[in-house]
Amino acid sequence: KAGVTQTPRYLIKTRGQQVTLSCSPISGHRSVSWYQQTPGQGLQFLFEYFSETQRNKGNFPGRFSGRQFSNSRSEMNVSTLELGDSALYLCASSLGFDSTSTDTQYFGPGTRLTVL
Amino acid sequence: AQKVTQAQTEISVVEKEDVTLDCVYETRDTTYYLFWYKQPPSGELVFLIRRNSFDEQNEISGRYSWNFQKSTSSFNFTITASQVVDSAVYFCALSVYGVASGSRLTFGEGTQLTVNP
């Protein structure tokens, strides 16, 4: 089975721009989560989508948003980029048997975003 | 709220030494799950193990072993006879059961393990 894929792998943007990152989960997985990793804050949860619905959200400003499509693929968007948004953005997928399940998450290689 | 603490920021050992990575967690929930992930320089988090709060049995997988103790809220990870390929950042993580929580992971700060030849 193919693993979680993320595109693009690297991205350079300037302050004020917006960016969209894409994540394709493992086949059959219905839940997709996003995390931000920075040297200062570590790994922080952004949000989780299950069956096209956001079911959990971390403590990030509204500039960070996401969505999930019917094929479970997910995108996250960051608007009005700030220097502090430079980070590795990791996507993870899990089976998601139902809305209450807490499954093992499998991670993609990440998208490294640099904001200049 | 959940919290995971990995007090060891960096550990350096010589190949073939045994090394233990510490993890202490905090949660008020009675049903929860603990994980260890490995992050090599490539950046991808690699899943190593998952334990639920009702199963305190220790586990061994090859050179890896895990010691889960609810009494001390710890979930430590030991690598026996370390190898250079074990060099990576290791993360301990916690997830609690429930509709509101989903599969959300709370991570520790990570421990950078360097195994020298």
pLDDT digits (tens, 9 = 90+) for B18-54: 999 999 999 998 889 999 999 999 889 999 999 989 8
Residue of B37, B46, B103 with shortest CB distance to A94: B103
Residue B39 · residue B90 · CB < 8 Å: yes
A109 touches chain B (CB under 8 A): yes
DSSP run (H or E) holding B68: strand B64-69
DSSP A25: P
DSSP run (H or E) holding B22: none
DSSP string, A55-115: EEE-S--TTEEEEE-TTS-EEEEE-S--GGG-EEEEEEEE---STT--PPPEE---EEEEE
Tell me how close the Cα of A17 comes to any Cα of chain B, in angstroms. 25
How far apart CA A6 and CA A10 sit, in angstroms, is 10
B97 touches chain A (CB under 8 A): yes
The 10s digit of each residue's pLDDT in A70-82 is 999 999 999 999 9
Residue A52 · residue A69 · CB < 8 Å: yes
**Residue B111: closest CA among chain A residues belongs to which residue?**
A42
How far apart CA B79 and CA B20 sit, in angstroms, is 6
Whether B42 sits inside 8 A of A101 (CB atoms) is no
Residue of A42, A44, A109 with shortest CB distance to B43: A109
Structure tokens at A80: 């009005």
Residue of A99, A105, A110 with shortest CB distance to B105: A105
Q: Taking the alpha carbons of B63, A109, A103, B8 in that order, is the dihedral positive or negative?
A: positive
Tell me how close the Cα of B18 comes to any Cα of chain A, in angstroms. 26
Partners of B101 on chain A (C-beta within 8 Å) are 56, 102
Q: What are the start-end ranges of the H helices in B1-117? A: none
How many contiguous H segments (helices) and E segments (strands) does chain B have?
0, 12
Residue B59 · residue B65 · CB < 8 Å: yes
* 3-state SS class at A46: strand
pLDDT, one tens digit for every residue, chain A (116 residues): 689 999 999 999 999 999 999 999 999 999 999 999 999 899 999 999 988 999 889 999 999 999 999 999 999 999 999 999 999 999 999 987 665 556 889 999 999 999 99
